[in-house]
Structure formats: C-alpha cells, structure tokens
Structure 1
Amino acid sequence: MEVARAYAISRLGWIRQQQERFRNQAREAPRCFVERESHYLWGRRHLLSVIYRDVKPTVTLDHKRITLIVRPGSQLAKRSAIIHDWHKELLHEVVPTLIRKWEAKLKVKVTGYFLQRMKTKWGSCNHRAGNIRLNTELIKKPKDLLEYVVVHEMIHLIEPTHNERFIALLQKHYPTWREARTELNELPVAAEIWKG
C-alpha cells in the first residue's frame, strides 16, 4: 500500500495537469431532453422527439431521430436517466465484441467490464482484477474512439503504467492511437459532469 501511495504522490503533478486539461475541455450545452434537442450517438447528431404517454418509458432510434416515450409529467432527471440507461444498453451491445476481438490480438483476458459516468477519464483498468471501466459518454463519440479506449485499457492488463513499454505496445497494436486520443480529447464532453 505504501508503494502505491508513493507512486501516486510522484505522479501528482501529472494527475493535476490531466484534471486541468479535462476542466478546460469544451463542454456540450446542458441537455434538457426536450423536443428537437440535439443529441449525439456514435459521433452523429440526432434530433430528440419526446412523446408523453402513460406507458413504460422506451427509447428508439430511427435514422436521424431518437424517440423518447415517457409518462406525462416526467421530469428532467427521469428523462435523463432513461436516455442514460439506453446509452448503457447500446454500449453493452458493442463492448463485448470489441473485448473479444482485442483479447485474441493482445492475448489477455478481461474478467469483467463496467460502464459508468466518469468525471476525469474515458476509461480505467484494474490490472490485478482484470477489469476495465468505460465512461458512458463514449456512446456520443465515433465508434473508433470507443475501440481506442478499450484497447488502451486492455493494454494496461499487460503494462499497468504509461511507460515506454506501454506506449510501444499501444503503437504496435493500435498505430493510430495518437490521432484517436487527440480527437477524443478535442470533442466536447458532457456539461452535467462538471457542475459546481
């Protein structure tokens, strides 16, 4: 435990620099989940259609329109939660395939993955447990950027730190990683993540 603490302290400057970079990254306008509002899915803009019916809430995608059906009187928090759950469902449809693809290429085994909103990172890896964690905001970015984050985190199963070996592995297996990282870090992030 003391070694981990010493390592974290030695990287404190870098950690603060990364947090500051995220703080200064462009933000999306806050979403209200109302009619004709723009929402992004896999890097493409879609208009939201909100229908109020006394039925179980659902979300569907049809060409360039996302249709959200909610009960009359549903508040912003409820509409937001329904869309967030839908985003997680869509990610669960894609992430396992990416993990299987890269397990074979990297010759590693992911024991589990988790999806959650994350304030300062796109993903993380617990190399001891073999788990990766992915930011649900990745659903809004082009799919190749999700793949980059998955590969990045899976390489941490081989090399836990961002040292020269890690960079060499990333370069070998995902040669366009620098471009992907730049694009990901230039795209706006969710406004609600950075309240207060």
Structure 2
Amino acid sequence: MRDLLDLGELHAEVTRKAIKHVHLSVLPPAGKVRVAAPQSMPLDTIRLFVVSKLGWIRSQQRKLQAQERETPREFLSKESHYLWGKRYLLEITHADAAPMVSLSPRKLYLQMRPDADQARCEEVLDAWYRQQVRDAVPALLERWQPLLGVKANRVFVQRMKTKWGSCTPASGYIRLNTDLAKKPPECLEYIVVHELIHLLEPTHNARFVALMDMYLPHWQHLRKQLNRLPVRHEDWAY
C-alpha cells in the first residue's frame, strides 16, 4: 500500500510495511523523499513526522544535488576509470578469447572479443569490480565481526542505485554496492562496519551513533569523504 504526501513543494512517497518505526530516506539523484511506516500508523501522524524533519530533508537534498557525478562511461581507450580510489586510463584490446581485465601501475586493460559492444564492456568491467569487493570483504569480516560480537550470515555485492550498503538484521544479510571498489579502501571498511553494527542496532538512533563512535571514531569523516566523491552516472528511474 502506497500513499503520497503533498507538502507544497515537497512530495513524499509513503510505503506501509510490517515494521515498528518510521524510516525516512532522501534518495539520489534529485532527493526524492520516501517514507516506510508501520501498517497501522495514521497518515496524519506520518505527515507530522515528515514535517518535523523538513530541515534535515532539505539539507540532504542540497547535498545530493551538489554531489559530483561521473560523466557517462563510453568505454573508449584513454578514458578514466578508478580502483580503490586510484585513477587508471582504460586500454581496450581485442582478441578471440575470453574477456579479461588486468592492471599496470597506470592503466586498466580490458580485453574483449572483436564484436563486443559498449554494453558488454560495461558488463565485464562491472563483474570485475564486483569481484574486487568480494575479495576484499573476508578480511574485513575477519577483523570486525569478533570485535563487534556479530556475524553476517551472507554478504551480497551488487549494483545499488540509492545506497552504498544495506543490512537486514532479521536474516543477517548484508548488501554492498559494487561501486565501492572504485572508492578508497577505507570507504569500504566504513560501510562494512556500518552494516555490521546494524546487526546490533537496526536503526540510526543514538545507540547506533554511540556504537559507531566507539568502534570507528573517525566514521563521520569517512562518510563525508565517501559522499564527496563522484558517483556513477545513472539514468535513475523510480
């Protein structure tokens, strides 16, 4: 069940779920407002909650609209691509063999079949980025799970348009954005810790903030660093 709150210039999409608390999200790229609310909560109560958060909503929208975005990738030689925060120049070669990605100190080599189009190049490179995150996660889990006293049942790495990561505490599942492979390694660590702490505290309340402060004292600096970096160009659709 979905409702639409009309607050003048601001519109908020409301989705009813089997949850106990209201969750408010401001989504990229333009700052669309989405509210997840308990199924029995009256719409007027949700409206009052959203109105009370108008200052925060406007602040988040300004940040999203100001964030730098990558130009669309065309997969041409000499195009800039990134791995763990470092810039590489793309070098495309063709061979009648399986696609392959490799690195030199300054270049990212993408070997493709002669008939490969742009979509296929993107697919191969995305799969490679996904594997980079998958390869980096076990060491982070090995370090942080014992410290936090939690255990993720499964970690998925996937393309995510609106989040760097997510956690489902009931199942113990964590999801990470493939594009984290393009950012500095400490950004991935921050997101992993963030999602693991959600296994202790599902919401972003004062307890969550206190836990982040305790275990990763510079987490707010890392969050700002991640949010300042250019994000993937997308034709966002909702």
TM-score (norm 1): 0.91
- 1:114-193 matches, within 5 Å, as 114-192=156-234
SS at match of 2:19: helix
Tell me how far apart the structure 2 counterparts of residues 157 and 19 of structure 1 sit (CA, whole Å). 28
Tell me how far apart the structure 2 counterparts of residues 6 and 35 of structure 1 sit (CA, whole Å). 50
Aligned to 1:75: 117
Q: Which has the higher contact order (CA 8 A, sep 6+)?
A: 1
- Bigger Cα Rg: 2
Aligned to 1:108: 150
SS at match of 2:176: strand
Superimposed CA distance per residue, residues 4-35 of structure 1 (whole angstroms, 9 cap, x where no aligned partner): 27622357668966577445421011111111
* Preserved CA contact (<8 Å) 1:119 1:193: no
Q: Sort the Cα spacing of 1:19 and 1:155 in 2 relative to 1 into closer, same or farther, 3 A.
A: farther
Unaligned runs of 5+ in 2: 1-15, 23-35, 38-45
Task: Flag the structure with higher strand content.
Answer: 2
Superimposed CA distance per residue, residues 63-82 of structure 1 (whole angstroms, 9 cap, x where no aligned partner): 12110000112111000000
* Preserved CA contact (<8 Å) 1:23 1:194: no
Task: Flag the structure with higher helix content.
Answer: 1
Aligned to 1:91: 133
Q: CA deviation at 1:195?
A: 6.7
Q: How many residues align?
A: 196
SS at match of 1:194: coil
Unaligned runs of 5+ in 1: none
User: Aligned residues: percent identity?
Assistant: 43
Aligned to 2:19: 4
TM-score (norm 2): 0.76
SS at match of 1:4: coil
Q: Kindly provide the amino acid, as one letter, of the partner of residue 4 in structure 1.
A: I
Aligned to 1:65: 107
Q: Kindly provide the amino acid, as one letter, of the partner of residue 54 in structure 1.
A: D
Q: Kindly provide the amino acid, as one letter, of the partner of residue 169 in structure 2.
A: H
Tell me how far apart the structure 2 counterparts of residues 187 and 79 of structure 1 sit (CA, whole Å). 24
Q: CA deviation at 1:44?
A: 0.6
* Preserved CA contact (<8 Å) 1:87 1:139: yes
Decide which of 18, 30, 33 is 2:72's aligned counterpart: 30
SS at match of 2:73: coil
Tell me how far apart the structure 1 counterparts of residues 152 and 135 of structure 2 sit (CA, whole Å). 16
Decide which of 58, 70, 94 is 1:52's aligned counterpart: 94
